[in-house]
Each structure stands twice: as structure tokens, then as C-alpha cells.
Structure 1
């Protein structure tokens, strides 16, 4: 069974799991906003997330990323290069407008991870900004890029979905921030460091309420979306409630990151249920 655990750990360490989460959020945007599903963008985001996340985790110092010490990291490095090549292939089919959005997000990611500021190593090292930058990049990637790919306008509903996605990622990052209390430098000034675990969870609870009730402000609101947001409201509330400083190894890295994947799977199930119910109704 050790080889199964090793494969599972590689799946997490090589950022495949988080890439599936990003991919799932892109698909949800296609469904929720009722826009054209661009599969080249979907695959670009999936494979690009693998290479990008692995570079942030392991390759901030380029020398260490090229001169890898062990076979395990070499495997992650090899996967990252293959994923980058596949992402570039799919990226070649994307429009100029989408690439403008991608470049903007890449620059923001670079400022987040690379030492480009004179008095700070990167934006990540600036107190309190870490969680907001990550949420902004995820929201832009999973909502703004699909809108640009579908050549849709930035309507009121799109703005609401973009804001909700930012809030969602912000909430999902809270368990990670609490988990990393023992490892993060005090200079980061993360929410749990500044406000404490209890107040951070209360703040996250208010964010969950805001995320759900913003749904009712949409001009076009379907029953399916309302049900999905309701399930998301419950899942996020439960996860935030059970989050502790001392977590199991896979609580945040697997279960929390799996929430967008479960959400997407649920959206497919509900969509098929509604289609089946409609077909049954029409048959009478």
C-alpha cells in the first residue's frame, strides 16, 4: 500500500489536485454564466496551473529548480515541463484578448512570488496581502478568462460572479492560513496571525453569508444555481467550523482543495437531473 500513498502524495505535491480545482471552477463559470465552453482555455488553465504552481512552490530560485537534488523532485520537474508544453499548445488557439488577460495574471503571479520589490522579497512578503492576491488571481483565471474567451461583455452578473469567486477562494484559503500558523513568518501578517484563529473563522463565516446572499442580486438567476450555491454555503460553513490549527495531513491540501471539484460534480448531477425531469414531463 505504500506505493498507493506515494502516488497520492505525488498527485498532491505535483499540483495536479489544485489544477483540477481550477479546471472545475472554469467549467462552473461556463455553466453559471451560460457562455461558450472553450476547451482550449480549459486545458490551458489545467496544465498551466500545474507548471505555474510547481514553479511557485519549488522554483522561486531558478537555480534550485534546474539543479534538482532527488528523483522525487525530478519527477515533479519533468511533469511541470510537459504540462507547460501542453499549455503552450492549447494557448496557441486562444485569442489576443485572452492573452492580454493571461499576461496580466502572470505578471500579478510574478509579483507575488518573485523578488522584484526593493524593500520586500515579493508581494507575498507584504503583510496581509498574500490571501487577497491569490484570491484575485484565481478569480481572474476562472471567471475573467472564460468571459474573454467567449467574447462576452462584463455585465452586472459577470461582476457579481467575479466578486463571488474572489470571496470563495478567500474562504478556501483560510484553513491553509490557519494550518500554516506554525510555519509562516510573522512578517506575513496573515489573518490568523493578526486577528487570531477564532476571529478569522468568524470573519470567514460572514464571508460565506455574503457569498450566498449576493446570488440573489443577479439579474438572471436559475434554480440550479441557487441550489448549487446553497450546497456550497453548507459545505463551506462545515469546513470552516471544523478547521483547527492542528490539522490532519490531507485536510487542507486534499479535502479543502477538493471543494470546487465536488461543486462541479454536483453541478453536472443537478443539470442531468433537471434534464431527465424535463424529458419525463414532456413525455406525458
Structure 2
């Protein structure tokens, strides 16, 4: 049992699970827009997410020498290095325009982590901005990169999906912020810190309702897609409503981050019939 727990912890702490969510959302974009050449972008998103998330999580601690290199952390560092090499390989498989956009998101990640100006905090510590940066990066990497890489037009439907995905990621992050309320620096001014847990849940529920209502604006409205997104919205709302500061770390880091994966898998199964 201890060995299994160590494996699960490595899987989560090494950002493999969150990377799987990014991979799933990118593949989901392929399903929605009937993109056949999605493999390179999906794998770039997967390995790039491992690198980006591990860099964000462990860089500050490493630079301040507050991070003791345990065996697991050494394994995560090795995983991150391998993922960096693989992500660079897939980066150069992308179209030139996609590479430029991908580089811009790299700059945003660096800005999010590193203090570029003397005596200034990084973007991660800019009050209240963290949730928007993260949601923006997820939408950019999992939606716009595959769209641009395949030279698809930026239609109104693309921006509709972008709005829905931004809302979904935003609400999923709200769940993390509720669970991490006791641990987060008060100066971060996360949504629960500013308006309280109850109001945060209300905001999340209203946003998921907007998420569903936006589907009616689609020029290609399909009842099966609406039913699937309704199930997704209800699942997300339930996870939000039952979230609290005393929840296990696996509640968000495993189950909540599994929502995009299940969404993609269900869509794949439906499309196979």
C-alpha cells in the first residue's frame, strides 16, 4: 500500500495527472473541430504542461534553497528534464505560427514565476491575477494552438468554445482555491479570500450556467453535445459545492483534474458509435 501511495503521489506531484488533463482538452479540440493532425500539438501540451507546472511549483523553493532534494523530488526533476527534451522536439514539429504562439505562452509562464524586475514580485503574486493567467494559458494551449497549427479559421464558434473553456478552467481553479484557502498567502487575494467560500461557490454555479447557455449560441447546435456538456456542468458544480478547506488533497489534484479527461473519453466513446 505504501508503494502504491508513493506512485500516486509521484504521479500527482510530478504534474503527470494535470498534464493528462491538458492532453485530453487538446484532443477534445481535435474532436470538436474534426482535426486529424492533432498528435504533435497534444503531446506538446502534455509534456509542456509537466515542465511548466513543475517549474512553477518548485522553482521558487529551489531558488530560495527551501527545497530539500528527496528521492521523489529528484525523480520529478529527472521527469521534468525528459519532458522538456520531448516538448522541445514536438515544439519543432509545429507550424511556424503555432511556434510563435507557443513561445508567447512560455513567456507568460516565465512571467508567472520569475521576478523580472528588481524588488518586484512575480505575476503569481500579483493580487487576484493568478486565476486569469492560468485559465488564459489553458485556453491558448489546448484550443488555439491546435486551431492555428491546422490553419483553421478563427470563427465565432472557436471563440464560443474558448469562452466555455475559460469558464470551465476558471471554475475548476475556484475549487482548488477553496481547498487551499488555509494554505494560500493572504496577499494572493484569491477569489475565496476576497468574497468568501459561499459567494465563491455561487459565482462558480452562475458561471457554469452561463457555460451551458452559451451552447445555444452555437451555429451547429447538437443535442448530444448539449447533453454531454450538461453532465459536465452538473459534475463540476457538485465538486464545487462539496469542496471545503478540509478536503483531501486528492479531491482536487486527482478527481477534479480528472473532469476534462472523462469529458474527452465520453466524447470519444460517443463518436465511435
Asked whether the equivalents of residues 27 and 38 of structure 2 are also in contact (C-alpha less than 8 Å), the reply is no
CA 198–268 in structure 1, closer or farther in 2 if over 3 Å, else same: same
* Inter-partner Cα distance in structure 2 for 1:149 and 1:270: 26
Classify the secondary structure of the residue corresponding to 2:220. Answer: coil
The structural deviation recorded for 1:123 is: 1.3
Distance 1:37-1:210 versus aligned 2 partners, 3 A rule: farther
Question: Which blocks of at least 5 consecutive residues in structure 1 are unaligned?
Answer: 276-284
Shift of 1:37: 3.5
How do residues 1-284 of structure 1 correspond to structure 2 at under 5 angstroms? 1-60=1-60, 63=63, 69-117=69-117, 120-272=120-272, 275=273
Q: How much does 1:35 deviate?
A: 2.8
1:31-68 Cα offsets, whole Å, 9 max, x none, are 11223332111111111111111111112366479x96
- In structure 2, the residue corresponding to 1:73 is in which secondary structure? helix
Please give the secondary structure, in 2, of the residue aligned with 1:121.
Answer: coil
Normalising by structure 1, report the TM-score. Answer: 0.91
RMSD: 1.6
TM-score normalized by structure 2? 0.95
Taking the aligned partners of 1:178 and 1:62, their CA distance within structure 2 comes to 26
Q: Deviations over 1:56-93 (max 9, x none)?
A: 1112366479x962221110000110111111112221
Aligned partners of 2:38, 2:57: CA distance in 1, in Å? 28
1:227 Cα deviation from its structure 2 partner: 2.1
Which of these two proteins has the greater Rg computed from alpha carbons?
Answer: 1
The Cα shift of 1:224 comes to: 3.2
Instruction: Judge conservation of contact 2:157–2:218 (CA < 8 Å) in 1.
Output: yes
Q: What count of residue pairs does the alignment treat as equivalent?
A: 272
